[in-house]
Amino acid sequence: MPADRLTLPADPGPFSFEPARTALLLIDMQRDFVERGGFGESLGNDVGLLREVIPPLQEVLAATRAAGMTVIHTREGHCSDLTDCPPAKLNRGNPTMRIGDLGPKGRILIRGEYGHDIVDELAPLPGEVVIDKPGKGSFYATELHELLQIAGITSLIVTGVTTEVCVHTSVREANDRGYECLVLADCVGSYFPEFQEAGLAMIAAQGGIFGWVSPSAAYLEALSAVNPAAVGAATSRGRSRST
Ligand code: C5J
């Protein structure tokens, strides 16, 4: 029988959630950020650091789906005429390609282009919500809050990239709207190891000022109460990959 409420060890203290009122949020796992030839690389970043997130996130996604929980994906990007991309964003930095330029994976961060879409390994299933967002936060200029309210969601399991930019912005927005957020440390990634460490520490500091942080293993262990077979299969796949 599905557990009503699950608890797992986290920083700064135990995190409790009701699976029926919790959504897994996968933030911006797009080719433009995690594959070569995309926006992230055009800014001079090593995408390899972000790709490390994909295998543990596949395990989490599979176990969350098997538990029957809500799954929501986001994509950062703009409409083709760039009317939703303010000059302050378009002209920022010194990339080799700007938003809207034609790159190897299509126009950079433009909706409908190949590079804008989510990587094959984490492709949304039919029926899973995909939120297109023009900003860093998942709640800014999107329907996310309304969708979560309608679904009765009160807690978010937060994953994706990048830790200190879109993950942080989204967790702060969610916290201000009353959602309890657990960030899975090995399922969020940054191009900068020092930002990864500091970004996670900032979330859990001061008694959990924005939320909680735990490794994905603790979340999978808690979910095993809902669906032991699915989580067992996921973790044995993880073990065989790491040997
Ligand atoms: C960035 C993001 N880093 N998804 N976007 O520009 O974090």
Residue 84 lies in a domain: no
Residue 173 lies in a domain: yes
Distance 110 CA to ligand 1 centre (A): 14
Of 108, 131, 136, 142, the one to substitute when testing ligand 1's pocket (max ligand atoms within 8 A of C-beta) is 136
Catalytic residue among 11, 32, 85, 166: 166
Nearest protein CA to atom 4 of ligand 1, as residue: 166
Catalytic residue among 11, 105, 132, 133: 133
Residue 87 lies in a domain: no
Residue 125 lies in a domain: yes
Residue 94 lies in a domain: no
Residue 88 lies in a domain: no
What Å distances lie between residue 201 and 170, 178, 210, CA to CA? 16, 20, 10
- Residue 170's domain comprises 6-34+46-76+121-242
N- to C-terminal Cα separation, the chain? 34
Residue 143 lies in a domain: yes
CATH number at residue 158: 3.40.50.850
Distance 154 CA to ligand 1 centre (A): 25
Tens of pLDDT along the chain (243 residues) come to 457 999 999 999 999 999 999 999 999 999 999 999 999 998 899 999 999 999 999 999 999 999 999 999 999 999 999 999 999 999 988 888 899 999 999 999 999 999 999 999 999 999 999 999 999 999 999 999 999 999 999 999 999 999 999 999 999 999 999 999 999 999 999 999 999 999 999 999 999 999 999 999 999 999 998 877 767 665 555 444 432
Catalytic annotation on 136?
no
What Å distances lie between residue 113 and 117, 125, 142, 150, 158, CA to CA? 7, 19, 20, 30, 25
pTM: 0.94
In contact, 161 and 188? CB cutoff 8 Å = yes
Task: Give how many domains the chain has, as a whole number.
Answer: 1
Residue 237 lies in a domain: yes
